[in-house]
Structure formats: C-alpha cells, structure tokens
Amino acid sequence: MLKKRKKFFCLFVLPGLAGIMVFVLVPFGDVVQRSFTGGVTGEFCGFENYRMIFQNQAFRMAVKNTFLFTLACLPLLVMVSLAAALLLNMLKHKGWLKAIYLLPLAMPTATIVLVWKMTFYRRGFFNMLLSRLGEWLGLWGQVSKDYLGSSSAFWVLVGTYLWKNMGYTVLLWLAGLSGIPTALLEAAKTDGAGKWQRLWYMILPNLKGSLYTIVVLSFLNSFKIYREAYLTAGAYPDESIYLLQHLFNNWFVNLELDKMAAAAVCTGGFLMVIMMVLQRLWDRNES
C-alpha cells in the first residue's frame, strides 16, 4: 500500500512540481550563483555584490521604508479588523457589511488611482474637508498640502492598505471567532464573568491560532501595496514610500542585475527565516 501511495503521490504532484522547478527553483539557483559573480566580468567575486548593496543608499532607504511600512500597517490592520470582527459578531445580519468590507479586494488598483488623486491632491476632497472642519471649529485655516508628493504619502499608503485588506482580515477573525464553542462562553457568563473578562480570558487566547495566519497573510499582502504606490506616485515617488519593490523594479529597468541578484537572495532568505520562525512559534503554541 505504501508503495502504491508513493506512486500516486508522484503521479499527481510531480507534473506541477516540474513546472515549479523549471520556472522558480532552478532559475533561483542561477540567481544565487549570479549574486556571487561580477556583473560585467562574469567572474567569481565573493561577497562583492552583497557589500555593494549594503553600502547603497537607495537600498538602505528602501529596506528602512519597507520595515517601517510593515511595522506601521500590520499592527494597525490586526487590531482594527479584530475590533470590527468583534462588533460584527454582535449582529445577526452581517452579510451586507461583510460584502462591503470585502469589496475593495475586487476593485482593480488602476480604477482607484483616479479617485485617490482627486482626494489627496492640494485642492482635493481631503483638504477641503479638513479646511471646512478647521473653519467650523475655528482652530486652523485652510489646509493645502499635497499628500501624495510629501512624506504624508506614507500614511496615505497605510490607509490604502487598511482600506484594501480590512475585509479579508475581518473574515479571518470571524472564522476564528466562530471556532470558539459557544457553550464555553455561556458557561462563563452564568458563572458571572463580565464582558471584558470573557474577552480577555476566553476569546482572545482562543484566537491565537488565527493570529498567526492573519499575520502571515497580511504580511504577504503588504508587499502588494506596491501596485498602489507605483500607480499613484510612479517609479520614483516621495522618499518616504520608496519601497524595496520600487528599487527592484528600477534596478531591473536599468539592468543592474548583479545588485538585483544579491538583493533577491537577501530578501528571499530573510522572508524564509521569518516564515520559519513564525511557524515554529505557532507549532509550539499548538502543543
């Protein structure tokens, strides 16, 4: 039986695996090799390329920005969507709201760019609203900041990320919440546990498994913000949102392949380590 099983495993998995080998794994091996050879000479040059990218101003800035972006948007998304999921869970008819929250996932990036420009340029909707509010409160005068062309672009991008991914994350939280046995919560209620106590001691600990997935998937989606960044601000945006993805793209356009190879190996390796650490943490939690 085991032999048979092996045969069928190979029969079903190998064709796809062959494709992955041809299109991903083997060429990535080639990239690793390239990262140790000079771009012009084609000779082995040790860690020269790595030294070069770590001394590169643009690379450092892009790494810093990518880190900052992830650090700003991940906790925000996780918390905001948890709050929304807990609130949603109180309602009986939540279908409509769920659908609305998910909608941005279906909106192609290109379609929202226009609206973003109209909202965030100097005389756009956002400034108009702020100015009116300031007038009404009498606290500040007219605001005419260009959000996409200044360091505020960073926060516009964080907001876009939240806008796009909230529905997805809320659903994941809701799935986690529905996995908590209601009998348990009812029992706690009759034992006199208050709302916040139940939340803190019963609901949140039970959501740890969901947290892992949510962090991993949100992390993955945080790389896709490049689409929004690129379309609203171009290949060379404000410094605050110059991400690793921009850098890779610009290196690619300028054919600086040796730097690209070294940076791809570093980024890929880093992501793999992060995944493994997260997975390890998660496994320990389960047992």
Partner 1 sequence: MKVKKIDLRKAGIWVQKGLAVTLLSLPAALILLPLLILLSGALMDSWELGGYLGSVFTEGEEWISWKWMPDYPSFENYKKLLFETPQFFVLFWNSIKLTGCILAGQLLAAVPAAWGFAMYPVKGSKWLFSLYVVLMLMPFQVTMLSSYLVLNQLSLLNTHGAIILPAMFSTFPVFIIYGGFRSIPPQMLEAARIDGAGEITILIRLGLPLGKGGLLSAMVLGFLEYWNLMEQPMAFLEEKALWPLSLYLPEITWGQAGFAFCASVITLVPAVFVFVLGQDYLEQGIIYAGLKE
260 binds partner 1 (CB under 8 A): yes
**Count, residues near partner 1 per rule CB under 8 A:** 95
Which residues face 37 on adjacent strands? 44
Residue 100 found at the interface with partner 1 (CB under 8 A): yes
Shortest approach of partner 1 to residue 182 CB, angstroms?
A: 17
In the three-class reduction of DSSP (H, G, I as helix; E, B as strand; rest coil), residue 44 is classed as strand
User: Minimum distance between the CB of residue 37 and partner 1, rounded to whole angstroms?
Assistant: 13
Give pairs for 264-269: CB < 8 Å, separation 24+.
264/28, 264/31, 264/35, 265/31, 265/32, 265/35, 266/50, 266/53, 268/28
Q: Report if residue 237 touches partner 1, rule: CB under 8 A.
A: no
Contacts of 26-32 with CB under 8 Å at 24 or more apart are 28/264, 28/268, 31/261, 31/264, 31/265, 32/261, 32/265
User: Taking a C-beta distance cutoff of 8 angstroms, is the pair 164, 105 a contact?
Assistant: yes
Q: What sign does the CA torsion over 266, 270, 272, 276 have?
A: positive
**238 and 153 Cβ atoms separated by less than 8 Å:** yes
Close Cβ partners of 113 (under 8 Å, ≥ 6 residues apart): 228, 231, 232
**Cα-flanking dihedrals φ and ψ of residue 140, to 5°?**
-140, 160
Closer of 46 and 234 to partner 1 (Cβ): 234
Contact with partner 1 (CB under 8 A) among 42, 64, 67, 115: 115
102 in contact with partner 1 (CB under 8 A): yes
Shorter beta-carbon distance to partner 1: residue 57 or 111: 111
Closer residue to partner 1 (CB): 202 or 216: 216
Distance CA 193, CA 185 (A): 9
- Residue 141 interacting with partner 1 (CB under 8 A): no
Q: Which is nearer to partner 1, 112 or 241 (CB)?
A: 112
Using CB under 8 A as the binding rule, whether residue 244 contacts partner 1 is answered as yes
Residues 6+ apart with CB under 8 A from 172: 81, 210, 213, 214, 217
- Regarding 139 and contact with partner 1 (CB under 8 A), the answer is no
Residues between 148 and 177 with contacts to partner 1, criterion CB under 8 A: 163, 166, 168, 171-172, 175-176
Determine, following the binding rule CB under 8 A, whether residue 72 of this chain makes contact with partner 1: no
x-or-dash pattern for partner 1, window 22-41, by CB under 8 A? xxx-xxx-xx--x-------
- From the list 266, 228, 232, 275, the residue with the least C-alpha distance to 248 is 266
Paired residues of 44 in beta bridges: 37
Subset of residues 4 to 23 that bind partner 1, contact rule: CB under 8 A: 5-6, 8-13, 15-17, 19-20, 22-23
Under rule CB under 8 A, residue 245 binds partner 1? yes
Min dist. Cβ of residue 78 to partner 1 (A): 13
Nearer to partner 1 (CB atom), residue 116 or residue 154: 116
Smallest separation (angstroms) from partner 1 to the CB of 72: 18
Residue nearer to partner 1 on the CB measure, 197 or 279: 279
